[in-house]
Amino acid sequence: MQPEALPAPVRAFLDPSFYPHPVGRVEMVQTHISYVFLAGDYAYKVKKAVDFGFLDYSTLGRRRYYCRQELLLNRRFCADVYLDVVAVRERDGRLSLGGRGRPVEYAVRMRRVPEERMFHRLLERGEAAVPTVEAIAERLARAHADSPTGPHIARYGTWAIVYAWRENFLQWREFIGETIAPEQDSLLRGYVSWFLRRRRGLLRRRAAEGRVRDCHGDLRSESIAIWPDGGVCIMDCIEFSRRLRYTDVAGDVAFLAMDLEFRGRPDLADAFVRRYVGASGDEGLAHVLDFYRCYRAAVRGKVEGFLLRQPEVPAEQKREAEARARRYFDLACRYAARDWPALVITCGLAGSGKSSLARALGLATVSSDVVRKELAGLAPEQEARAPWQKGLYAPSMTERTYREMLSRARAILREGRTAVLDATFLRRRHRERARRLAREEGVRFLCVELRASDDLVRQRLSGREAAGPGPSDANWQVYLWQKEVFEPPEELPAGERLSLDASLPAHELAAAVRQRLGAGG
């Protein structure tokens, strides 16, 4: 940014003679909400005159108030760094830092932390290790234990995160198609809706247990310094919004864990979370961690997008911000896909590899072959062949089988797990019932159609015959009958249908399904 584009009281910080202490060279760093001037032994943080709704620094009075709040709140985490609030004053047309005159701007004065001691720099140099993140976890657990809580804070535990998500969806709407894809926006909306519908009680219980506290609210690696003796200094806590700071402690843990994963260190993220749980005794953290990780990644994607709309930000910095925003939204969607259950149904004729795919997925599976025989009082391996649509395979028995499968799938989904229905789903009506179940439970739906050639099916069914009785009684004649009545799943939208070549190995088919689910269907 060109100095002349800065407001005069801010531009003054670029002049080494402006300071009441020795300064050789001034370096300016800016974010979407502040300017930071590195001058000699000190750093001065000036708030930008911006209003993002969730943050309002638009007036001088607000900037003064939030400078004071920043000083007070951050001293909880790192008292030695946060020194005082200083005023830029104007008198007879001249600006001075402190002294006499009319205040025209404010800054938080901090002791300058050596850049090489910042945690993100240690990560970049490969000098951060498990003991480093364990020390951070222990410091954070102590800070949380000492942080205020109570009914006036706990009440933020549920409504504030709901409001924050709604705010996010509105604020990044202008970036859809630019930094976040439409299908990613849809995935995040669906996941949040499901989580708040099915797990809101969990958030309330954690609030009742005292897990909602006056937290940091913005815990990233750039906000942490590691001293040579191993001490931990945590900086840059949110001062501008109690709604964003009064949060479940999982929000702080999730932010740094997400940041470590974003930087390619999932091993350190796992070590950090484990040590925090051990130090805090918060065994229930795991049940909400992905939800908060998703939220934190999405927030960072949104914030990076804000830089694209600020005219003073250089073009190269905007390009870098756009790339980071996309990566953050990708990460948010991975967390959502990992936590949000899905109802997956297989679709295909006998011998197409549906059961092999289900096994390769390694998820909770309901098999039509097994359920059908259980309903008839038979063991899965007990042979029960009958003519097409007769005996165990009569239409009435098929209807009972599908009803029971859907009932079992509902129970699995309500446990927060993905359910796989391993069946032919030859008929459109059976697929529609499964799809309706997914809508009722607020989960994703995916129909995986396996397409196989006659030669491949004949080969597989012959091999199955040679192996002896199993859950499936289908043979070549059954395959031919199925082929005559099969209704292809063309009624399903492309986002809910995945057609695969059944000749591929089961692990490759499973990988394709996981990839589709990870991308939001």
The mean per-residue pLDDT over the stretch 233-237 comes to 96
Best CA proximity match to 188, nearest among 413, 496, 521 = 521
**C-alpha to C-alpha distance for 240 and 237, rounded to whole angstroms:** 9
Helices (H), ranges, 340-427:
354-361, 368-375, 395-414
> Using alpha carbons only, what angle is made at residue 383 by residues 360 and 348, rounded to the nearest 5 degrees?
40
Whether pLDDT at 380 is above 80: no
pLDDT for the residue numbered 387: 66
Residues 136-166 have pLDDT tens digits of: 999 999 999 999 999 999 999 889 999 999 9
Least confident stretch, 27-41, 226-240, 380-394, 417-431 = 380-394
Residue 463, pLDDT score: 82
Task: Report which of 120, 5, 92, 98 is spatially closest to residue 44, judged by C-alpha positions.
Answer: 98
Domain ranges, ordered by start, for the chain = 3-112, 116-339, 342-518
Q: What local confidence, expressed as pLDDT, does residue 139 receive? A: 96
Q: What band does 312 get if pLDDT is binned at 50, 70 and 90?
A: confident
Distance, in Å, from the CA atom of 175 to the CA atom of 379, rounded to the nearest integer, reads 56
User: What average pLDDT does range 225-245 have in this prediction?
Assistant: 94
What average pLDDT does the segment 206-213 reach? Answer: 96
For β-strands 42-47 and 342-347, DSSP reports them as unpaired
Count CB neighbours of 173 within 10 A.
10
Architecture of the domain made up of 3-112 = 2-Layer Sandwich (3.30)
Element at 108 (helix H, strand E): strand 102-111
Looking at residue 49, its pLDDT comes to 95
Segment 27-43 shows an average pLDDT of 94
**Share above pLDDT 70 across residues of the chain, in percent, rounded to a whole number:** 96
Q: In this structure, which CATH number among 3.40.50.300, 3.40.50.800, 3.40.50.620, 3.50.50.60 belongs to the domain 342-518?
A: 3.40.50.300
- Give me the pLDDT at residue 3, please: 74
Average pLDDT, the chain: 93
**520, pLDDT greater than 50:** no
Q: Are 307 and 32 in contact (CB under 8 A)?
A: yes
Q: What number is the average pLDDT over the span 37-64?
A: 95
Beta partners for residue 157, in sequence order = none
Contact residues for 298 (Cβ-Cβ < 8 A; gap 6+)? 168, 172, 188, 328, 329, 332
Q: What pLDDT shows up at residue 385?
A: 64
**High-pLDDT (> 90) share of the chain, %:** 86
pLDDT tens digit string along 423-477? 999 999 999 999 999 999 999 999 999 999 999 999 988 887 766 666 676 788 8
Per-residue tokens: 498: 């995945």
Checking if the pLDDT of 521 tops 50, the result is no
CATH number of 116-339: 3.90.1200
Whether pLDDT at 420 is above 70: yes
Give 54-86 pLDDT, tens digit per residue.
Answer: 899 999 999 999 999 999 999 999 989 999 999
Lowest mean pLDDT across 227-241, 423-437, 507-521: 507-521
DSSP 307: H
